[in-house]
Amino acid sequence: MTRETTNAGKLGKLQKLSAALAANSGDLQHLQGSLAQLATLLTQAQEAAKQQAAFVAGKQEASKQFNTFVTEGERLATVLQLAVKHHYGIRAEKLAEFGLLPFRGRKAKTASELRPPTTPTETA
């Protein structure tokens, strides 16, 4: 006989055992206290399984809401960052306080970068 490892399988085995014990309760009068205790534990386990399923569904819904709120927050943050840039100007060092990079101009090209590349036909 294989050993059950999943919670649903374990619960199913307990239900089968409880049903078999209840069907033969006339022969097992000396186990009535334990049978009642098993029935109570089985009911509690079933309620806990229902509650667990509800929590899983609730967690999925909470995750969807969280993703929605984060997306909306990022969109609003983009608008606010643009408003801050507009207010202070794109070159203001104050932008660094808001996590934005001020525009500091482009790097000047060196003399070798300014000269057009020579082709082999021009040198001959």
Give the tens place of pLDDT for each residue, 75-97: 999 999 999 999 999 999 999 99
Integer Cα distance of 56 and 49 in angstroms: 11
Note whether 102 and 96 are within 8 A (CB). yes
Least Cα distance to 42 among 76, 70, 78, 17 occurs for 17
Note whether 84 and 95 are within 8 A (CB). yes
Domain range list for the chain: 7-102
pLDDT-derived band at 122 (thresholds 50, 70, 90) equals: low
Note whether 107 and 114 are within 8 A (CB). no
pTM of the model: 0.55
